[in-house]
Copies of this chain bind each other. A is one copy, B any other.
């Protein structure tokens, strides 16, 4: 299940991408437009800023803005920041790999092989979708 964090984050990013120009947009404006709890959105935008997707400007006329053009923001990056691993199981994760403690043989594991296929299909989607594709 997609977390609300990711859902809200994607909506906020799309909202920013749809702006004319690249002026900072206030959190409150995004929250209002997208029906998101402002405080929750704060923490989401903060994590997007810390990972280099967004920039922020303080003071009057401040807010958040995209660092790069929407065409250059890949869904692989966004999803990993917001949702975490793209793989459904750590043992098939590219960026968050972890060995299963319960299964001795990774190659012979049926779950491993199935989830590898699922991961590849999801990666294929995320690698070929940018923030620009999400703008309505």
Contact = CB atoms under 8 A, between A and B. Distances in A.
A10 interface: yes
A134 B118 CA distance: 13
Count class of interface residues, chain A: 20 to 34
Contacts of A113: 134
Main SS of the interface on chain A?
A: helix
B134 A125 contact: no
Contacts of A7: 89, 111
B110 A11 contact: yes
Interface of A: 1-2, 7, 10-11, 14, 34-36, 75, 85, 88-89, 102-103, 108-111, 113-115, 117-118, 121-122, 124-126, 129, 134-136
